[in-house]
Amino acid sequence: MTEVFADIITIGDELLIGQVVDTNSAYIASELTKIGVTVRRIISIADQATSITNTLDESIHQSDITIITGGLGPTGDDITKQSLATYFGGGLILHPETLKEIEQFFTKRGAKMTDRNRKQAEIPDMCTPLRNRIGTAPGLLFRKDNRTIIALPGVPFEMKALILEDVVPVILSNFNLPVKLSITILTAGLSESMTADLLEEWESNLPSEYTFAYLPSIGILRLRLSISGKNEDNLKRQLKYEANKLVQILGKKHVFGFDDDTLPSVIGNKLKNINCTLSVAESCTGGYIAHQITSIPGSSAYFMGSATTYANSAKSQLLQVSDEDIVSQGAVSKKVVEQMAIGAQQLFGSDFSVATSGIAGPDGGTDEKPVGTTWIAVTTPHRIISQLFFFGDSRERNIIRASVTALNMLRISIDEYSKK
């Protein structure tokens, strides 16, 4: 069983001028990866015949599969179909079954079909059309020198339906694909370089059938461990074995979940398990923590409410923070953030609470408290924990990092409380 390689070519001037973000490639790459195809290259090119044929020619010489999206429509700038017909040495012919499907498409919607729509039933004479059930441009399947070339419409939902219903089954039946499994380990509170130091020895001893990748985002580092081979059960066991080793090295303090977990979803599950509730008091994060918690379906089972207390008067009036402490310590201080957390816990009658107070920037920093200075406090039914952080000078990143850090502190506190 050898590795099967694919290229993805997205066509459209709109992609090259930054008007449309190429989301098609990411979707196709993820679906191909799931079935064990190795994506070798993703390339976006203009609606231009020579560009299309040159890129396709290069791809066919290097990869087993080429997936193309865009330019199959009925307008003048849609030249993919004609370019493919020319490249494969043929012309366009009217495909009667496709024409019938397009006619049905318009009849069902009570819409008038034009000559332009009828032209969509013209396809290169050497391809097999792939039925587009939700649009008018069919997908086009070519085989040349043992290579598979598939052109799909650019409209994302049409492309997605064709990938799932036609492209994946075609690839699975034409290729003997290796089994590829992956697990993504989610961490918070560790930088990429700190993690690389901790994992250096483990990584250097990782057998060659594994691949390992660092995927950093603000405050969160995802670690993807993959393995490929033949026997799925053995691979699953091997993957689990190495993932467990990795979790042990990094520790539960930093590893908060796997694959599609998020900090708010993990926290929600933990709170539901111990039948406890949560409230939030936010200053510098301006409601972002509450927004993330309430983005989880079913969060009403444990989330009581939040107070976005930006002004000092709001902190004292809503959360009973002492005016004296605000004046003597400053709003960004241990005393104030702890009183905010206790205030929310009392106001909403929750078991846990989390509070943030920081200088998001770009203004408001001082020598003593530069932009990025942030205090975070968490209350549990038993105790209060607070910590000072220095995040940096970008307002947007500070808000996200403060939120991620607060949620991670909360997660650790819930774990500690549950163990008692």
User: Site residues (CB under 6 A) for ligand ATP?
Assistant: 10, 12, 14-15, 20, 22-24, 69-73, 78, 135, 137, 153-156
Q: How far is the CB of 186 from ligand ATP (least distance, A)?
A: 27
Q: How far is the CB of 38 from ligand ATP (least distance, A)?
A: 20
Q: How far is the CB of 12 from ligand ATP (least distance, A)?
A: 5
Residue nearest to ligand ATP (CB): 73
| 179-188: strand order across its sheet | 210-217, 220-229, 179-188, 255-258
Q: How far is the CB of 78 from ligand ATP (least distance, A)?
A: 4
* Cα 129 to Cα 131: distance, rounded to the nearest angstrom: 6
Yes or no: say if 152 and 162 are a contact pair by the CB < 8 Å rule: yes
Q: For ligand ATP, give the closer residue by CB, 25 or 292.
A: 25
Q: Which residue has the tokens 């390689």?
A: 5
Which two three-digit tokens encode residue 312? Answer: 């000092």
Q: For ligand ATP, give the closer residue by CB, 28 or 280.
A: 28
Which two three-digit tokens encode residue 136? Answer: 């008018």
Q: How far is the CB of 27 from ligand ATP (least distance, A)?
A: 8
Q: For ligand ATP, give the closer residue by CB, 76 or 297.
A: 76
Q: Which residue has the tokens 């923590």?
A: 289
Q: What is the separation, in whole angstroms, between the first and last Cα of the chain?
A: 52
Q: How far is the CB of 171 from ligand ATP (least distance, A)?
A: 19
Q: How far is the CB of 98 from ligand ATP (least distance, A)?
A: 13
Q: Which helix (H) or strand (E) holds 177?
A: none
Q: Which residue has the tokens 């403060």?
A: 402
Q: For ligand ATP, give the closer residue by CB, 153 or 343.
A: 153
N residues, the chain: 420
Q: For ligand ATP, give the closer residue by CB, 15 or 188.
A: 15
Yes or no: say if 271 and 278 are a contact pair by the CB < 8 Å rule: yes
| 352-358: strand order across its sheet | 303-308, 278-282, 352-358, 373-379, 384-390
Q: For ligand ATP, give the closer residue by CB, 73 or 268.
A: 73
Q: For ligand ATP, give the closer residue by CB, 20 or 249.
A: 20
Give the DSSP letter of residue 166: I
